[in-house]
């Protein structure tokens, strides 16, 4: 359910004339500037570029008679603040792309440089689920043909088993093993009460995967 629109947004969307609209806009900006700047600073470290991004975000929010804000007012579900964080972040990313820059955020799920780490996490998943993988063999640059075939079969079986999981469990595995997020971050993102609930759920899902792999003839003794 959408929450009641903040007063300053209601005033802005229902302003009858330019003067009232300007005043309402000023009020909106005053009310939400710090939140918008906070979002921008997560992506843009340079202060001047940050202020350019801020101007860009405000411009986009106001254009076409505050079209985006009207969109929230018509379809918004949940808190206005959360929605504004999402939109301000998207507009900042948009600004960076338009201005030829890259995002400078740190610690996000899938940023640059995660690729190598991601491979490590996939190996860990394979090892945890299959309980059968020789990590040294995975590091071997010239594995034997049998090993390659074996690895490929395991990977295929694992991929298949993962695809059959409920989508929330797939997301859980992806955040943990593909993106390498910490359990605490996953708990916050997926609304687990604590990180321990994340570990317990992971354990359950991995056990399920292991059972499925065993059912397909891939057991821990190979």
Q: Name the residues that contact other proteins, by CB under 8 A.
A: 3-4, 6, 31-32, 34-35, 38-39, 42, 60, 67-68, 71-72, 75-83, 85-87, 89-91, 93-94, 97-98, 105, 107-111, 115, 118, 122, 125, 155, 158-159, 162-163, 165-168, 170-171, 173-175, 177-179, 181, 185, 187-189, 191, 193-194
Q: How far from the centroid of its chain's Cα atoms is residue 76's Cα?
A: 20
Classify residue 191 as left (phi > 0), alpha (psi -120 to 50) or beta: left
Cβ distance to other proteins smaller for residue 16 or 179: 179
| Residue 160 beta carbon to other proteins: minimum distance, rounded to whole angstroms | 10
| Residue 150 beta carbon to other proteins: minimum distance, rounded to whole angstroms | 17
Cβ distance to other proteins smaller for residue 21 or 89: 89
What's the rounded Cα separation, in Å, for the pair 161 and 147?
Answer: 21
Cβ distance to other proteins smaller for residue 14 or 67: 67
What's the rounded Cα separation, in Å, for the pair 37 and 204?
Answer: 41
What's the rounded Cα separation, in Å, for the pair 77 and 51?
Answer: 29
Cβ distance to other proteins smaller for residue 34 or 139: 34
| Residue 217 beta carbon to other proteins: minimum distance, rounded to whole angstroms | 20
Residues 6+ apart with CB under 8 A from 132: 154, 218, 219, 220, 221, 222
| Residue 71 beta carbon to other proteins: minimum distance, rounded to whole angstroms | 3
Q: Which long-range contacts (CB under 8 A, 24 or more apart) does 152-157 make?
A: 153/218, 154/126, 154/130, 154/213, 154/218, 155/126, 157/213, 157/216, 157/218
Which DSSP symbol is given to 6? P
Query: Which structure tokens are listed for 27?
Result: 């009020």
| Residue 80 beta carbon to other proteins: minimum distance, rounded to whole angstroms | 6
Q: Where are the alpha helices (DSSP H) in the chain?
A: 7-13, 18-43, 47-75, 80-98, 115-130, 135-139, 145-163, 167-173, 183-190, 195-215
| Residue 108 beta carbon to other proteins: minimum distance, rounded to whole angstroms | 5
Cβ distance to other proteins smaller for residue 8 or 21: 8
Cβ distance to other proteins smaller for residue 133 or 158: 158
Cβ distance to other proteins smaller for residue 42 or 210: 42
């Amino acid at each position: 359910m959408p929450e009641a629109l903040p007063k300053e947004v209601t005033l802005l969307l229902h302003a009858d004339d330019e003067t009232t609209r300007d005043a309402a806009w000023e009020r909106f900006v005053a009310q939400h500037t710090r939140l918008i700047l906070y979002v921008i600073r997560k992506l843009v470290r340079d202060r001047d570029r940050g202020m350019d991004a801020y101007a860009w975000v405000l411009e986009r929010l106001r254009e076409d008679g505050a079209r985006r804000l009207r969109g929230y007012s018509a379809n918004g579900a949940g808190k206005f603040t959360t929605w504004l964080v999402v939109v301000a972040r998207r507009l900042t990313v948009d600004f960076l792309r338009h201005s030829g820059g890259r995002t400078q955020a740190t610690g996000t799920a899938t940023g640059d440089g995660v690729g190598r780490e991601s491979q490590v996490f996939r190996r860990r998943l394979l090892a945890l689920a299959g309980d059968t993988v020789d990590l040294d063999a995975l590091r071997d640059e010239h594995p034997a043909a049998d090993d390659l075939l074996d690895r490929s079969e395991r990977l295929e079986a694992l991929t298949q088993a993962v695809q059959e999981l409920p989508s929330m469990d797939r997301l859980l595995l992806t955040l943990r093993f593909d993106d390498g997020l910490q359990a605490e971050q996953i708990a916050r993102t997926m609304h687990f009460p604590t990180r321990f609930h994340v570990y317990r759920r992971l354990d359950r899902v991995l056990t399920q995967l292991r059972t499925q792999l065993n059912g397909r003839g891939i057991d821990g003794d190979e």
